[in-house]
């Protein structure tokens, strides 16, 4: 029987398991050479590159320049399904590569670094999660896209941060109660917004969990005209101060459309590249991730996302390293709840959106 104490222990990622954030440095000549080599390899191998909003700007620029795609993870996988490419290079974290393989089992899926993980995925191991679900057989199991293929296969529905509210409201109207996993902050936000009966798994994103409400309030005083854009994986004290709570795609859209010059942004700072492209005349300020006497661990950027680099993309294309493999039967079971999301979005004329939230 999983107790509250043991659940918290299971969901907590140990500090020693979190890698240091490392950014590769290149000379201008090296950067140009690596980009040219990637473009050549993509063409030779009939491959396309998809990159998450949180990855290095160089990777996003190449994806955009080579008929690839920059977006949220499930939308990246959907793009792969529509592409005629034989190979999909997924610049992101491991669950994103798995999702791409689930939706594209016939394609070769490569990742620059298979060690690029996610604290939400790590904090939701399949054996413990299955035990938790078995204790509550009357509840519909809804999981966020930031989960392993095995956890998806154990679920009834997969949702994104952009679709979760609509789907929970839809199912709640049918009298359903829920198990929600893995992010406790996103689950708490959805529960408050919908009033749904939800049992929450206790995982957290190490980036969003570090945003601080008290320090954000102080920063707002310094920038009284700034709008605050918050991803719902953040703590409630941060969400309470938001002008907009949305997915990564929604945050970029808000920055472009809102009538404000300054924005305080509470999500991974990798998103600033696309925000600045969308609204080059606006100012974006990082939300604080450390309080008085405290230090940050991620400091606003996912260390696993930072494992993606130009050199590693070249290596995976040249050697075929970093290929994602999923047991075909597991992949079929995992596709069922994902397909429910895609079908729901199609029927309700809703774009499939997600953050990493990774």
Please check whether residue 35 lies inside any domain of the structure: yes
The token duo for 173 is: 């109207």
223 and 246, same structural domain?
yes
CATH number of the domain bearing residue 42: 3.40.50.10800
Closest CA to 238 of 268, 222, 215, 262: 215
Please check whether residue 36 lies inside any domain of the structure: yes
| CA–CA distance, 102 with 334 (Å, rounded to integer) | 7
Please check whether residue 76 lies inside any domain of the structure: yes
Q: Model pTM?
A: 0.94
| CA–CA distance, 300 with 268 (Å, rounded to integer) | 5
Domain span at 284: 208-301
pLDDT at 5: 66
pLDDT at 3: 64
246 and 319, same structural domain?
no
* Residue 288 to residues 189, 269, 327, 349, Cα–Cα distance (Å): 20, 11, 42, 36
Per-residue model confidence as pLDDT tens digits over 218-235:
999 999 999 999 999 999
Q: Is the pLDDT of residue 293 over 60?
A: no
Per-residue model confidence as pLDDT tens digits over 42-92:
999 999 999 999 999 999 999 999 999 999 877 888 898 899 999 999 999
95 and 72, same structural domain?
yes
């Amino acid at each position: 029987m999983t107790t509250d104490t043991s659940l918290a222990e299971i969901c907590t990622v140990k500090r020693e398991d979190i890698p240091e954030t490392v950014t590769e440095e290149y000379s201008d000549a090296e950067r140009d050479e690596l980009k040219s080599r990637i473009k050549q390899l993509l063409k030779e191998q009939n491959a396309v590159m998809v990159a998450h909003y949180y990855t290095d700007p160089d990777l996003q620029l190449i994806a955009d320049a080579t008929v690839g795609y920059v977006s949220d993870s499930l939308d990246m996988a959907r793009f792969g399904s529509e592409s005629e490419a034989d190979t999909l290079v997924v610049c992101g974290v491991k669950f994103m590569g798995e999702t791409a393989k689930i939706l594209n089992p016939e394609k070769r899926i490569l990742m620059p670094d298979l060690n690029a993980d996610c604290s939400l995925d790590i904090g939701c191991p399949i054996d413990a999660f299955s035990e938790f679900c078995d204790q509550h057989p009357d509840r519909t199991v809804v999981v966020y896209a930031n989960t392993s293929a095995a956890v998806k296969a154990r679920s009834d529905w997969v949702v994104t941060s952009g679709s979760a509210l609509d789907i929970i409201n839809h199912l709640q109207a049918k009298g359903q109660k829920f198990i929600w996993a893995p992010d406790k902050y996103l689950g708490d936000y959805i529960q408050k917004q919908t009033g749904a009966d939800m049992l929450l798994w206790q995982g957290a994103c190490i980036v969003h969990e570090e945003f601080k409400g008290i320090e954000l309030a102080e920063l707002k005083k310094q920038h009284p005209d700034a709008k605050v854009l918050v991803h719902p994986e953040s703590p409630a004290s941060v969400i309470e101060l938001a002008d907009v709570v949305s997915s990564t795609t929604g945050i970029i859209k808000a920055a472009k459309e809102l009538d404000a010059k300054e924005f305080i942004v509470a999500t991974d700072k990798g998103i600033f590249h696309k925000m600045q492209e969308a609204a080059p005349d606006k100012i974006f300020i990082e939300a604080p991730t450390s309080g008085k006497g405290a230090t940050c661990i991620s400091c606003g950027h996912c260390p696993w996302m930072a494992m993606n680099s130009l050199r590693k993309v070249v290596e995976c294309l040249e050697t075929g390293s970093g290929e994602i493999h999923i047991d075909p039967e597991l992949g079929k079971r995992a596709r069922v709840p994902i397909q429910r999301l895609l079908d729901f979005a199609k029927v309700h004329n809703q774009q499939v959106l997600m953050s990493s939230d990774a």
